[in-house]
Structure 1
Amino acid sequence: MAPSSVSPGPAAFLNLLETQLLLATKAGVSVVQAVGNGGPDASSVVSFSPWITSVAASTTDRKYNKTIVAGNGQIFSCGGLSPPTPGDTMYPLALADDVSTDNSTDGSNGCQDPKVFIRSLVQGKVIVCMIVSSNYYQGDNFAGIIDTIQKMGAAGVVIIDRYSGDVDYEYQPIFPTAVPSAMVVDGVDMMNLMEYYENNTARDGDGTVITFGATVRILEGRRASYSGERPEVADYSSRGPNIENSQMQLADVLKPNVMAPGHHIWGAWSPTSDALPEVQGESYAILSGTSMSTPHVAGVVALIKQRHPKWSPAMIMSAIMTTADVTDRSGRPLMARRDVGAVVAATPFDMGAGAINAARALDPGLVFDATYREYLQFLCAVPGVDEAAVRRAVGASCPSSRARWCSDLNAPSVTVASLVGSRRVDRKVWSVGAENETYMAYVRAPDGVAVRVSPDEFTVAPGETAALRIVLNTTAPGNAFSFGEVVLRGDKKHSVRIPLAVYPAAVLSGP
C-alpha cells in the first residue's frame, strides 16, 4: 500500500484509507505500508495506525564500485553500473563545452542535445557532462546523456553534479547503461579531476582547445561487492514521532514499526512505463525508497502466514517487531543518516523495532495480539475523538469497556507522548513456542523515566498467556522523547524485545 496523508479531522487514524485498512485487518489481512520518503525530518511519517505494519528503509552492504583511472595515476571512486572502456587503452578526456559548437549554450555541458556537439571532436573520447541534481526531473537526466554519448560515438562519459549544496551523493540514482559511464560522487574528486583536465589541456587565446592531454580509463562497474557494513537508516526514510492529527499533536503509537532494505534494490519494472526514461523498455530497475523496503516485509509476512496460518495480523506484526535486530553481527548499534554526512545511533523513530530478521520472526517465542474490538477501544481513546466520529468512520460504536489511554492497546511496543507522573501499561503475551519456557524481564529505562515490569519472571506453556504490567514514572522531565526497551529472555533461547519511546513531560500536552 502506498502511504496516505494527514487529512483534516479529529484523528489521522480515522481517514478513509486507514479505516478501510482496519476493516481489512478485521478480515484477517495483514497490511504492510511504506512509512514514506520524507526523512530525515521528524514526524514525517505518513503511515499512522497501529493495525498497519509501517516500514522504514535501510541501506545494504552491497555496492557497485566504479573506478576512473587518470593518466597521472590518480584513482577516483565513482558510482555507475556499466561496462568498462574497451581494453587497457587510456582515452582522451574532454569537457562537453570544449567539443561543442561556438554558438552552443551552457546546456551543452548537460549533454542533452547531440546537435550542439562536433562529432569529430567527440568520437573516441570520454566526455565530461554536467548535471544539476535539483533539476533531475526538469530535463537533466541520465537517459539524455547516454543517448547523446551513443549518437556521437564517444568512448564513454563521466558525469559530474554541478550542484554544490548539501547533496548526499551516495543516494544518487544509478541505472544500468550500455555505454561506459561513471558518476563522480565526491566533491574533492570532482575538483581534482577537473584540475587534472585543465592542467593538461592546451588552449589558444580564445579558450578553444588545441590539445586534449588528459586521459582516463573507466573500469568495470557491474559486479557487486559486499562490504559487511551494517545497515543504516536511509536519509530519505520518514521518521517518527507519529502524529494524531493535522495539528501535528503526537500519538501514543510507534511509527515506523520495522526497517528493511530499501536502498538500491533490484525490482521488476514494466517495459511500457515512462516514469523513468533511464529504464524505459527494461524489465528490471534498481530503485530506492520505502516502497522498496515494504515488499521485503510483505514477503516475510507471507512466510509467517504460511508457517502459522491461524495467526492474526497483529500476531504477525508482533513476531516481526519483537525479533528485529538493533545491532549488527558484531554487536554495534544500528545507525541512522540524518543531514548530509551526519550518522547517529538509530532510535525507534528512525527504524521502529529494528532491522527485520526473517528467520527469528518465524519463531518469536511470544506474541502480542489485538482484536478488532481492541482497535475500536484504541480509536475511542484518541483525544478529541468521540463515539459519533468512530461510528461514522467504521460503522461501529465504542465498546462498553473503554481504554483510558491509546497506550493501553496490546501492542509490541510502548509509546507515551506525554508522561506526567506515572502511567501503568498492561500487556498480554501468548506463547507460540513448542515447550514450556521461563522468561526473565530485563529493562533499559529511557532517560528521565523509571520502569518497573511485573512479574519480572514467569513461565508459560505452549498456547497459554501471561499478563505483564509495565509501570512508567517520570523522574526527570525533559524536552524530548527518550528511548529504552524491555527484553523478555527465555531459557529456550527466545528473546522478545519491546521498544519504549517516552516523553517525560512536566505538564500534560495536547488538548
Structure 2
Amino acid sequence: MNTLWSSWAKQAVADGVDILSLSLGPNSPPGGSISTFLNILDVALLNTVKANVLVVQAAGNGGPYDQTVTSFSPWIITVGAGVDDRSYPNTLTLGNMTVLPGTLLAPPTKGPFLYNLISANDATQGPGNPLYTPSDCQLASLFNKLLVQGKLMICTYSFNFIFGGASMQQVVSTLEALGAAGLVMVVESDVAGSQFDPVPFTMPGIVLLDYYSRLTTRDANGIAVQFGAQAKIGGGQIANYSGQAQQVALFSSRGPDIKDFNFNQADILKPNVLAPGYLIWGAWTPIGIDNPNYIGQRWAMISGTSMATPHVAGLAALLKEKYPLWSPAALASAMVTTADVQDSRGVPLQAQEVSAGSTPLLQNATPFDMGGGALNVNAALNPGIIFDAGEADYVAFLCTAEGATPQQVFASTGGVCPTVPGRPVDLNMPSITLASLNGTQVLSRTVTNIASNVERYTITWTSPADVAVTITPVTFTIGSSGQLQSQQITFTLQATGASTLSSFGHVTFAGDLGHQIHIPISITNKSLK
C-alpha cells in the first residue's frame, strides 16, 4: 500500500494541508485490464482522502470531445473550465475605416496615423527554416528588415504555438529586431484560438487577409512590390465585463467518465463542477520553462482547467474554515449541489463547441460538460443538506470495479471488501450516472442535515428523455444537525425504440427555510433487452 502512495501526497498529509489542488493527470487511461479507479495516481489520492484531505483536480484540456476527462475517481472533485465575462478587448482600425474587434494586452500604436500592413509571407528573404513557417514569425533572419521596418506585420497563430514550440514572446522579439511598428495576429482556427493566451498585441479575425490582399500589388511572379493596406492598433490593456454568464470553454475536457483503457463508460459523473479558467491572472516563476511565452516573467494570464481548479480549492478552503469537521465528500457536495445551471434570466448555461468559423458554436451545457454547474460561492457556504461518503464507501466502490479482486483492493488501500458485493451506483454521490439502463433500476441517495433548524424539503425532478423517474418520499422533514434522510429513486426505460443518445435530468431538494440543492442525472446506454 505505501509503495502506491506518492511521496508528494504523503508530504501534503504530513504538512497538515486540508485541500490539495492538482493541475496534473495521466495522458491516457491506464493500459491493460486495470480499472481507471485503481491506477497508481488515483490510489495515492484515495489514501490522501483517507487522511481527510479534499483533492481538487483539473479535468484536462482535451475538449470539446467526449470522454476526454483524465480525472476519473469519485473521491476527487474534478473541475472543468468556464469562460467568464471578463475580456481585454482591442481594436484594429483599417485604412478603409473598418474597425475590427480583437484582443490582447497591448498598448496602441503611436500617434493617430495609420501604418502600412505587411504579411509575414511577403516579407521573407533567404533560406527557410524547417522548424518554423514564416507566418509563425519566430526567426528574424527569415525576413527582409527593410520591408518590415515601420510596418504592422501580419503573423498567424497556428498549432505550432500549441504543440510545436512557437511562442508569442519570440514573435515580439522577432518584430522588435525587425523594427516593426506592431503585430496583427490572425488565428488559424477556433480550436487554436481557444488555447490562445493574450500576451501583448492584437488578434483580429481572418478577414484581415482579404483586406490586405486587395491592397497589395504583386508582380508577375506573385511577389509583393507595393503595400497599400493600412491600419492602426487600439489599446487593449483595460478589462471589460459584459455581465454574461459563464460558458464551458471549448478546450475543457468532457465526460462521460470511463472505467478502463477500452473507454467503457463508468457510473460516475465527471467533471463535477465548472469554474473560471479562461484568461486567468496568476503568479509565475521566472525560471519556469513549460510555457515559453512567460520565461522570465513573474505574472502570467493563461487558460486551462488548471486555472479553474484553484478557484474550487479556494472555495473549499472557505468551507473548511466554516465547517472544520466536514469530510472531503461533504465539502465537494456543498459546491456541486449549489452550482448554477442557468444564468440570471433562467437561460441554461452554454457549452462551446467546434465550428467552421472563428467563433465557437454554443449548445446547452450538459452534466458531461459542466458536472453540477458553475461554482456559486455564496450558495455553497450554506447548502442546508449534503451528500456524505467516507473511506469504507470508497473501498466498497473499488470492490465493484471490473477486474478488481479483494486482495488487490486491500493491497492498494488497506481496506476490506464488504461480504455482500454492491454496485457502483450505490455510492452516495451528489449526482446519479447510469452507464447503462436495462429496463428498471433502483438506487438510493442519503442526505445529511448540516443546518441547526428543522426544515421541510420537497423533492421535484426532471426526467431524462426516454426514462421515467419516481422518488420516494417526495417530502420529508429533517431536524437536528447530523440527521439523515434517504430517498429511493427508480429509473424505468419507457420505449422499445428509445434513443441511444445520452439523456439528462436533475433532482431538486427545496427547503421551506430557503435552502435548495440539486443533483444532475445522466444516462447513456439504454436498452430494454
Query: Which residue, out of 233, 250, 256, partners 1:241?
Result: 256
- Alpha-carbon separation, structure 1, partners of 2:54 and 2:326: 10
Letter in 2 for 1:312: S
Q: Any unmatched runs of 5+ in structure 1?
A: none
Matching residue within 277, 285, 289 for 1:270 = 285
Shift of 1:493: 0.9
Distance 1:321 1:82 in 2: 38
- Is 99-108 or 271-280 further displaced after alignment? 99-108
CA distance in 2, matches of 1:428, 1:204: 77
Q: What secondary structure, in the 3-state scheme, does the structure 2 residue paired with 1:183 have?
A: coil
CA shift, 1:154, in A, is 1.7
Q: Which residue of 1 aligns with 2:79?
A: 55
SS in 2 for 1:42: coil
Give runs of aligned pairs for residues 469-480 of structure 1, distance below 5 A: 469-476=488-495, 477-480=498-501
User: Which whole-Å CA distance do the structure 2 matches of 1:45 and 1:15 have between them?
Assistant: 15
Distance 1:33 1:136 in 2: 22
Alpha carbons of structure 1 residues 364 and 306: separation in structure 2 relative to 1, 3 Å: same
Of residues 330, 334, 357, the one that matches 1:319 is 334
When residues 400 and 66 of structure 1 are mapped into structure 2, their CA distance, relative to the original with a 3 A threshold, is: same
- Contact map agreement 1:474 1:504 (CA 8 A) in 2: no
Report the Cα offset of residue 152 of structure 1.
Answer: 2.1
Identify which of 400, 406, 428 aligns with 1:387. 406
Match of 1:19 among 35, 43, 56: 43
What amino acid sits opposite 2:186 in the alignment?
I
Alignment of 1:171-186 (within 5 A): 171-177=194-200, 181-184=201-204, 186=205
Instruction: For 1:74, give the aligned amino acid.
Output: T
Q: Is the 8 A contact 1:326 1:355 kept in 2?
A: yes
Q: Deviations over 1:447-476 (max 9, x none)?
A: 111111111111111312212111211212
Whole-Å separation in 1 of the counterparts to 2:462 and 2:338:
17
Secondary structure in 2 aligned to 1:343?
A: strand
Does 1:157 find its partner at 2:176? no
Pair 347,116 (structure 1): closer, same or farther in 2 beyond 3 Å: closer
SS at match of 1:168: helix
Task: Map 1:418-433 to 2 at 5 A.
Answer: 418-433=436-451
Q: Which runs of 5+ in 2 are unaligned?
A: 1-21
Residues 308 and 104 of structure 1: CA distance in aligned 2, closer, same or farther (over 3 Å)? closer
Counterparts of residues 228-307 of structure 1 (less than 5 Å): 228-307=243-322
1:100 Cα deviation from its structure 2 partner? 4.5
1:411 is matched with which residue?
A: 429
1:428-462 per-position Cα deviation (integer Å, ceiling 9, x unaligned): 11111231111000011111111111111111113
Q: Which amino acid aligns with 1:182?
A: T
Q: Compared with structure 1, are the counterparts of its residues 434 and 101 closer, same or farther at alpha carbon in structure 2 (3 Å cutoff)?
A: same
Three-state SS of the structure 2 residue aligned to 1:20 is helix
CA contact (8 A) 1:40 1:238 kept: yes
Q: Relative to structure 1, is the Cα distance of residues 210 and 417 closer, same or farther in structure 2, using a 3 angstrom cutoff? A: closer
Of 327-336 and 468-477, deviating more is: 468-477
| 1:38 and 2:62 correspond | yes
Query: After the TM superposition, which residues 94-493 of structure 1 pair with which residues of structure 2 at under 5 Å, given as runs?
Result: 94-101=118-125, 107-134=133-160, 136-161=162-187, 163=188, 167-168=190-191, 170-177=193-200, 181-184=201-204, 186-187=205-206, 189-195=207-213, 198-199=214-215, 201-202=216-217, 211-340=226-355, 341-403=360-422, 405-463=423-481, 464-476=483-495, 477-493=498-514
Task: Decide whether the 8 Å contact of 2:79 with 2:312 is kept in 1.
Answer: yes
C-alpha distance in structure 1 between counterparts of 2:158 and 2:525, whole Å:
45
Q: 1:242 to 1:208 in 2, by over 3 A?
A: closer
Q: Which moved more, 1:275-284 or 1:302-311?
A: 275-284
Residue aligned with 1:302, SS? helix
SS where residue 31 of structure 1 aligns? Answer: strand
TM-score between the two structures when normalised by the length of structure 1: 0.91
Identity of aligned residues (%): 38
User: Which residue identity does 2:471 align to in structure 1?
Assistant: V
User: Are the aligned partners of 2:392 and 2:415 in contact in 1 as well (CA < 8 Å)?
Assistant: no
